[in-house]
């Protein structure tokens, strides 16, 4: 009898313990659910690094002939818009708002719909914010950018530009490649079958590609010659070098403008299309659309910038005691370019035109060595400083690593 009572007591105790465990389990689960669903654990939503949980956001695109006043006229009074213009002067020139760029107007999520922010996208990465919550405050910001390493290759059939487009690469990559090899490859003389491989960084904003950035390594085969470029930045060395650590940069660019064709070469007997006579042509004519940017071939001082007879609008730059370059038939000069001004390699100096004796828009480009005409397409230029000896071990490791990756791009 006593044994039965003891067994019964044990069974009751086990049942009560089980019920207690179940009670506390479900109570804990319920409390956990409450915590997870509570406002304190809500994940806030951001746009342009602004919390928009309590805002209504209206996105738009700038239309032709639209300006800041017309964009904000339905939200703000003219006096406030004028204050925005004045407050923006040190941060952003509102007159530079371009058609096609995006903007956002953020209003309070209530019956008043007061305008709290205006955001204008300067480009896919940079933006300017007008904070209207209290007093007017203007500041700039950048979207979060994700960099991804990409590998690409291409074969030239007509031009580098065409090869980039045909392989669905970002067109900015063509400009970057041209800059890397500007001192070693004549991009106006590319031949069918020339090819390239490149390892580069591609930028993504909101999971959308916004262009290519730094080229880490590249290979280019042109005219039977092979060229490699490796980016290195350490201990005072910064730039692109070949496999031996020699700089790819030269004292002069290979050409003063991007992606054109040569319509006339250096010769002692060319038939002039307007004068209808044979006479020397001591330069190279690059046919290009009117307004194409023209840059300085190297550092130097402008000795002439004005009208020069049959050359039309011409700029002459003295680079050193040996070399002088001439840029003729321009449609106009870049701001600040005049006789006596100093320019740097790659700096914008003017725009392609057809001033003077010219049948169509092109750049007449000439080089003078020791006062005598020299063929720009055959001009050799000394290299700048190589990788320092103290950095060669690190540089060699980069070359080895990147060469393997370049070779693996099939």
Q: Which two tokens stand for residue 230?
A: 């490796």
Q: What CA–CA distances, in Å, run from 378 to 188, 261, 286?
A: 13, 17, 16
Q: Write out the E strands in 66-223.
A: 102-108, 115-121, 126-131, 137-142, 146-155, 195-205, 208-222
pLDDT score of 303: 96
Q: Which CATH class is domain 46-142?
A: alpha beta
Query: What is the DSSP-derived secondary structure letter of residue 167?
Result: T
Give the tens place of pLDDT for each residue, 26-37.
555 555 555 455
What is the mean predicted confidence (pLDDT) over 352-363? 90
Instruction: Please provide the average confidence, as pLDDT, over all residues in the chain.
Output: 86
55: Cβ contacts below 8 Å, ≥ 6 apart = 106, 107, 108, 109, 116, 117
Confidence of residue 304 (pLDDT cuts 50, 70, 90): very high
CATH 2.70.70.10 fits 261-378, yes or no: yes
Span 72-98, pLDDT tens digits = 999 999 999 999 999 888 888 888 899
Count of CB atoms situated within 10 Å of the CB of 249: 19
- Of 219 and 223, the structure prediction assigns the larger pLDDT to 219
Phi, psi of 95 (to 5 degrees): -70, -10
Q: Where are the domains of the chain?
A: 46-142, 146-241, 261-378
Domain 146-241 has CATH 3.10.450.350: yes
pTM of the model: 0.63
Residue with the bigger pLDDT between 12 and 139: it is 139
Specify the 3-state DSSP secondary structure of 47.
strand
Q: Do domains 46-142 and 146-241 have the same CATH topology?
A: yes
Dist. CA 105–CA 60, nearest whole Å: 8
pLDDT band at 67 (very low <50, low <70, confident <90, very high): very high
Nearest one of 332, 335, 277, 327 to 303, comparing CA atoms: 327
pLDDT per residue over 278-292, tens digit each? 557 788 899 888 999
């Amino acid at each position: 009898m006593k044994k039965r009572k003891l067994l019964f007591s044990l069974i009751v105790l086990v049942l009560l313990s089980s019920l207690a465990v179940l009670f506390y389990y479900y109570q804990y689960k319920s409390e956990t659910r409450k915590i997870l669903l509570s406002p304190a654990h809500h994940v806030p939503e951001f746009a342009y690094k602004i919390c928009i949980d309590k805002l209504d956001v209206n996105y738009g695109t700038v239309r032709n002939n639209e300006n800041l006043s017309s964009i904000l006229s339905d939200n703000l009074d003219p006096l406030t818009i004028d204050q925005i213009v004045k407050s923006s002067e040190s941060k952003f020139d509102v007159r530079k708002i371009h058609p096609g760029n995006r903007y956002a107007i953020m209003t309070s999520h209530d019956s008043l719909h007061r305008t709290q922010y205006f955001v204008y996208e300067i480009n896919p990465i940079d933006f300017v914010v007008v904070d209207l919550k209290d007093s007017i405050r203007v500041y700039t910001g950048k979207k979060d950018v994700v960099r991804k390493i990409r590998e690409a290759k291409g074969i030239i059939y007509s031009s580098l530009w065409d090869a980039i487009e045909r392989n669905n690469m970002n067109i900015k990559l063509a400009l970057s490649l041209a800059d890397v090899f500007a001192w070693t490859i004549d991009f106006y003389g590319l031949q069918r079958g020339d090819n390239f491989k490149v390892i580069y960084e591609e930028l993504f904003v909101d999971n959308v590609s916004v262009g290519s950035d730094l080229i880490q390594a590249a290979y280019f085969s042109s005219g039977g010659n092979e060229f490699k470029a490796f980016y290195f930045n350490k201990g005072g060395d910064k730039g692109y070098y070949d496999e031996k650590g020699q700089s790819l940069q030269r004292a002069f660019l290979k050409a003063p403008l991007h992606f054109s064709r040569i319509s006339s070469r250096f010769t002692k007997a060319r038939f002039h299309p307007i004068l209808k006579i044979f006479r020397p042509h001591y330069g190279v004519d690059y046919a290009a659309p009117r307004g194409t940017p023209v840059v300085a071939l190297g550092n130097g001082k402008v000795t002439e910038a004005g009208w020069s007879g049959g050359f039309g609008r011409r700029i002459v730059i003295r680079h050193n005691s040996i070399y002088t370059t001439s840029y003729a038939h321009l449609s106009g000069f870049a701001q600040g370019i005049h006789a006596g001004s100093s320019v740097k390699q790659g700096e914008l100096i003017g725009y392609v035109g057809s001033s003077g004796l010219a049948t169509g828009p092109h750049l007449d480009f000439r080089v003078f060595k020791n006062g005598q005409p020299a063929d720009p397409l055959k001009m050799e230029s000394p290299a700048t400083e190589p990788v320092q000896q103290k950095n060669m071990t690190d540089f060699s490791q980069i070359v080895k690593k990147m060469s393997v990756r370049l070779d693996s791009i099939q």
